[in-house]
Structure 1
Amino acid sequence: MTEISRSRSPRFLLFFASVSLQFISGFSDDSTNSEISSKTKSNGNSNVATKVVIVLIGLAAVGLFSFFLFKAWQKRKRDEQHARLLKLFEEDGDLEAELGLHD
């Protein structure tokens, strides 16, 4: 079950990013009023560009945060496995002493 949820997460993020980028163009002011100067139109384009940059920075931040969480999870699992391995060998030493196999 966790394999399915892991494979859906990147797809969901990609879908969410593509949908959100589609809506960014809807936020710009595209009125066809004759009173709008070319300066205002260029400000509208820079406004869209700013929003795109903010979304990309946000996605990069989420990606980096996910990467560091994954690395921390890997390290924790590795430490747990190492502790289990050490405990296993400690138990074997006790068994050898109990059986009189250890000098």
Structure 2
Amino acid sequence: MSKIKSLSPLRFFSCLFFSISLQLVPGLGDNSSSNGNKDATKKSSNWLEILLILFGLLAAVAFSVFLYKLWQRKKRDEQHSRLLKLFEQDDDLELELGIRD
């Protein structure tokens, strides 16, 4: 239980997503029905499940990259505003000391 609390929310939800998606992989989930007539439909549904899992993983990776780029942009804007604020304070100091008109 303590490991779940130390995970970031993004890691927690990605672990939860992967654990749920692994249940859909053929042979890993609990499949108690063993009917011989449904083999043809199971093969097509297995491929559909695999494609859905791959699409979900691709969407999760794309969303993670988007969030990372958004975080980088926010961080860069904060640093830029701090730099501008630093130079604005220096200009005010020069005016107060009478160095510049």
Distance 2:33 2:46 in 1: 11
**Which sections of structure 2, spanning at least 5 residues, go unmatched?**
1-5
TM superposition score normalised by structure 2? 0.70
Structure 1 vs Structure 2: percent identity of aligned residues?
Answer: 44
- The equivalent position to 1:42 in structure 2, one of 40, 44, 69, is 40
One-letter code aligned to 2:92 = D
Structure with larger Rg: 1
- The answer to whether the aligner puts 1:67 opposite 2:68 as a matched pair is no
One-letter code aligned to 1:31 = S
Distance 1:20 1:49 in 2: 14
Q: Return the structure number with greater relative CO, CA threshold 8 A, min gap 6.
A: 1
1:9-67 CA-to-partner distances (Å, cap 9, x unmatched) read 5587367525632443237685245xx2xxx4122111011011101101110110111
Runs of 4+ in 1 over 6 A off after TM superposition: none
Distance 1:63 1:91 in 2: 42
Cα RMSD (Å)? 2.8
Give the C-alpha shift of residue 70 in structure 1: 1.2
Matches within 5 A, 1:63-102: 63-102=61-100
Structure (1/2) with the larger helix percentage: 1
1:28/1:48 contact within 8 Å kept: no
Distance 2:11 2:88 in 1: 42
